[in-house]
Amino acid sequence: MYKKNTVFFKKSTLLLIIIFLFPFSGCTLKKEVLLSGKTMGTTYHIKIVGWFFQNINELQEKIDNRLDEINRSMSIYIKDSEISRFNALDKTGEKFPVSDDFLNVVTVGAGLYNMSDGAWDGTIKPLVNLWGFGNLEQEENTVPDDGEIKKLLEGIGFNHIEIFDGGFIVKKLPAISLDFASIAKGYGVDQIAELILENGYTDFLVEIGGEIRASGVRKDKKLWRVGINTPVKGSGVNQVYKILDLQESALATSGDYRIFFEAGGQNYSHILDPRTGYPVTNKVVSVTVITRDCVLADGLATAIMVMGHEKGLALINRLDHVEGLIVTRKDDGSLIDFQSKGFKTAE
């Protein structure tokens, strides 16, 4: 048994996104309102620009209700959620009816699984638990036996789930289970962005647990500006590595520098390769993806952490409307950036 050398953080603190606000300029008829709350085991922060006569706070209840609806569908910690009921199903071939939200996310998952050659896999939760990363308050971790890992791998693979028209999914293996932790927040960001647009607001920034989507401009008519936390173990939460401007786009970042444990002089990251069952050792420490939909950015950031910088960068560059930054660490601790053709930092 080995003691962790770091305190585990939830994903919301794993990835710090800093929103830079600039001084008021010009138009005195506009205001910026901050809405915040809790959801999906983390927090959300939403900045909306509107006219002074608009009561933006009326949106708060709609936002909370929509987030609760998504959470009750996809949280594995709610016993009667859709995902919990599907995971408890022990029959193969039986059509399981799902909501539009669930169907949307499982369809995105299937696409991510295929485009990443299995590097993203929403059925990996049993392996996460085996390595001790399923409970962030757990005090000790052990390196599992090879036999334990191989046994669990028999029940891992998104290809063991079939999607049917009409809103049904089917298990091909009774032991298969789902966990949308790596894309549910991104989906929530997208849905709240759509809700805000439907209510007549075009200038806003939505953030849930570090995942972001920007629309329009700030109150000063400049683009929304965000910062990415420095991907170094022990770095302060206010240390900024890169500053980016977002224009009608979403951003998600994944990293390995806060959640890990040490055993036998070796660090074991919480980023697991679903195909091998072991933590990745490809020296990728952080991946930031920018695209139109936050759910896709969210999943791609996780997948590329597993794929490594060469295959990951190749994937980004062949996808339309997707840009990314992959940061790797050399043996001496220095960082190397690999960025896609159209990736740009703020001037």
Q: What are phi and psi of 214, to 5 degrees?
A: -115, 145
Res. 9 pLDDT band, cuts 50 70 90: very low
Q: What is the mean pLDDT of the chain?
A: 89
pLDDT tens, residue by residue, 183-218: 999 999 999 999 999 999 999 999 999 999 999 999
Q: Domain 82-171 in CATH: superfamily? A: ApbE-like superfamily (1.10.3980.10)
pLDDT tens, residue by residue, 230-255: 988 877 767 899 999 999 999 999 99
pLDDT, position 136 = 54
**Extents of the domains making up the chain:** 82-171
- Using CB atoms within 10 Å of the CB of residue 116, give its burial: 0 to 12 exposed, 13 to 18 middle, 19+ buried: buried
pLDDT tens, residue by residue, 19-36: 443 344 444 689 999 999
Beta pairing partners, 252: 289
pLDDT, position 23 = 41
User: CA–CA separation, 172 vs 158, rounded Å?
Assistant: 10
How far, in Å, are 88, 126, 153, 256 from residue 175 at the CA level? 9, 10, 11, 28
pLDDT, position 135 = 67
User: CA–CA separation, 243 vs 17, rounded Å?
Assistant: 10
Neighbours of 85 (CB within 10 A): 13
Residues whose CB is less than 8 angstroms from the CB of residue 331 and which lie 6 or more positions away in sequence, other chains included: none
pLDDT tens, residue by residue, 310-341: 999 999 999 999 999 999 999 898 999 999 99
